[in-house]
Amino acid sequence: MLFWIIVTIIILLAIGLIVYWQLILAEGAYLGAPLVALLYDWTAERYNKIKEFEWEAEDFWVGEPLAERLRHEPGAMVLDVATGTGRIPLTLLRQPSFRGRVIGLDRASKMLAVARCDVINCDQQVSLIQADAMALPFASDSFPVVTCMEALEFLPNPTAGLAELIRVLQPASEAHPQRGWLLTTQRIGWEARLMPGKTWQTEQLFEILSRFPLQYVEIQIWQDIYNLVWAQKVRP
Ligand SMILES: C[S@@+](CC[C@H](N)C(=O)[O-])C[C@H]1O[C@@H](n2cnc3c(N)ncnc32)[C@H](O)[C@@H]1O
């Protein structure tokens, strides 16, 4: 009898751990894009509070470097994939030199609804659309800057997702040397090790990036659980 009680407890513990791993740590990443979006819809109202965004830090690490790269094209159109509650549109709107437009794309409608509340007075500059990052509804070489923050590891195939970001990026050219900038993130830390096949070690990420027509690839230390990844697309 005692044997079966112990076996039952072990089985229940194992199931609990698997559920915690899949739903909390991996945020549904192995269970398909619809579930990931559903989980983000459930947390959308609390997302900004959970993340504790500090706008000065956001501007320093992300907004200002993006605006600097766009200084010769202040009217440029930026695509932010997996925009969530609008982190990238909001930091760009705070940059005095930025007079362009941002398209924020996400699969989770409630994340977009939270973003919409914050950019409500800026609809001339920000468009929010619901779509999937794995099949961006844009032609190749469309945007001078593409961003995708803290999201690649939640996609069904992160490498294919990265390729999709690069596909819609306009390459730098002699006439437009400032175009072609990609800003994304690398998941790091102990949780990254619990997401095999979804996250990359730094060497592996450099190797994957080397398969694409990119220059100036830089992996920059940023937060405990994410590095920033910068690169510029060139013509193959
Ligand atoms: C951790 S949040 C990051 C949001 C925002 N980029 C930020 O840095 O705050 C991940 C976002 O990716 C979105 N996402 C996950 N899978 C997606 C997919 N297949 N297509 C589009 N968006 C997706 C989620 O809905 C969520 O808003």
pLDDT tens digits, the chain, 236 residues: what are they? Answer: 899 999 999 999 999 999 999 999 999 999 999 999 999 999 999 999 999 999 999 999 999 999 999 998 878 999 999 999 999 999 999 999 999 999 999 999 999 999 999 987 777 899 999 999 999 999 999 999 999 999 999 999 999 999 999 999 999 999 999 999 999 999 999 999 999 999 999 999 999 999 999 999 999 999 999 999 999 999 98
- pLDDT for 74: 77
Q: How far apart are CA 47 and CA 54, in angstroms?
A: 13
Going by the DSSP 8-state scheme, the letter that residue 135 receives in this structure is: S
31 C-beta closer than 6 A to ligand 1: no
Q: Please tell me whether residue 102 adopts helix, strand or coil conformation.
A: strand
Q: How far apart are CA 176 and CA 101, in angstroms?
A: 18
Interval between CA 106 and ligand 1 midpoint (Å): 6
Interval between CA 197 and ligand 1 midpoint (Å): 18
Interval between CA 82 and ligand 1 midpoint (Å): 4
Interval between CA 3 and ligand 1 midpoint (Å): 45
Mutating to test ligand 1, I would choose from 83, 105, 162, 228 the residue with most ligand atoms within 8 A of its C-beta, which is 83
153 C-beta closer than 6 A to ligand 1: no
Q: How far apart are CA 133 and CA 126, in angstroms?
A: 18
- pLDDT for 123: 75
Q: Is residue 163 exposed (0-12), middle (13-18) or buried (19+ Cβ within 10 Å)?
A: middle
- pLDDT for 219: 98
- pLDDT for 122: 75
- pLDDT for 120: 79
33 C-beta closer than 6 A to ligand 1: yes
82 C-beta closer than 6 A to ligand 1: yes
Single pTM value for the model: 0.96
- pLDDT for 68: 95
Q: How far apart are CA 188 and CA 53, in angstroms?
A: 19
29 C-beta closer than 6 A to ligand 1: no
- pLDDT for 21: 94
- pLDDT for 91: 97
Q: Is residue 118 exposed (0-12), middle (13-18) or buried (19+ Cβ within 10 Å)?
A: middle
Which residue has a Cα nearest atom 26 of ligand 1?
84
Interval between CA 155 and ligand 1 midpoint (Å): 9
Mutating to test ligand 1, I would choose from 25, 27, 35, 36 the residue with most ligand atoms within 8 A of its C-beta, which is 36
- pLDDT for 75: 87
Q: How far apart are CA 133 and CA 156, in angstroms?
A: 10
Residue type, 37: A
226 C-beta closer than 6 A to ligand 1: no
